[in-house]
Amino acid sequence: MRLSLLSDLNAERAARRAAILVTDVASGEQRLVREAEVETDPLALELQDSLRRGKSGLVERDGRQFFLTVQSPPVRVVVIGAVHISQALAPMARGLDLDITIIDPRTAFATPERFPDVPLLAEWPDAVLPEIGIDRYTAVVALTHDPKIDDPALSASLKSECFYIGALGSRKTHERRVQRLIEAGFTQTDIARIHAPIGLDIGAVSPAEIAVSILAEIVASLRKERRRSA
């Protein structure tokens, strides 16, 4: 691989943008296709399919073979709230190869003892989210039940391209949340992106069961193109 290609690939990785290295099998010629360039590429359909599946592989077009090396950013789960559900969710997320970060300004909850080996930010979401960024490979999970903490995170998420937004709370709690977000300038279409009550309906009761339902809903959102139709 040419050093210039490697440098460009590393730049896309650092910026958390997907890219595909296209290698002509016969000639060995290589080119980098950035995610924003996929739709205008001669191999657009093949590149889109590879990005959707997140898998590298061999494709054929007009009698020529190309190897597509897919580089996608790791999927990240940003959890607002260092609560019992978060404690159960963190190791499960790692088991699914999801990067997880916990954010909670309440230092009594956000402690390394409660969240060993988990990136933990004892900051207000509106202060720290612009720094870590929320992109289309990010899921945001709001679990504190405290509007002062959850609402700024939800506002930031609704302004982003993140693929999943979930918020804990009953339907009545969500109705009040919706009203606050409308007053903050969001439309019903915007707010419809929020999964609330959070998680798939599996009758979850315990923190661990709720964590399972949340992760299942995140995976379902992430893999929606691959889900079987009802």
Confidence bin at 106 (pLDDT 50/70/90): very high
Confidence bin at 156 (pLDDT 50/70/90): very high
State the span(s) of the chain assigned CATH 3.40.50.720: 76-226
| CA 141, 143, 219, 178 torsion-angle sign | negative
**Contact present, 214 and 201 (Cβ < 8 Å):** no
CATH topology classification for 76-226: Rossmann fold (3.40.50)
Q: What mean pLDDT is predicted for residues 179-183?
A: 97
| Residues 111, 152, 184: CA angle, nearest 5 degrees | 165
Confidence bin at 230 (pLDDT 50/70/90): very low
Pairing of strands 64-71, 76-80: unpaired
Q: How far apart are CA 173 and CA 183, in angstroms?
A: 16
Prediction pTM value: 0.83
- Judged on CB neighbours under 10 Å (0-12, 13-18, 19+), 205 is exposed
pLDDT tops 90 at residue 226: no
DSSP H helices, 3-70, are 3-14, 44-53
In this structure, what are the phi and psi dihedrals at residue 100, rounded to the nearest 5 degrees?
Answer: -130, 140
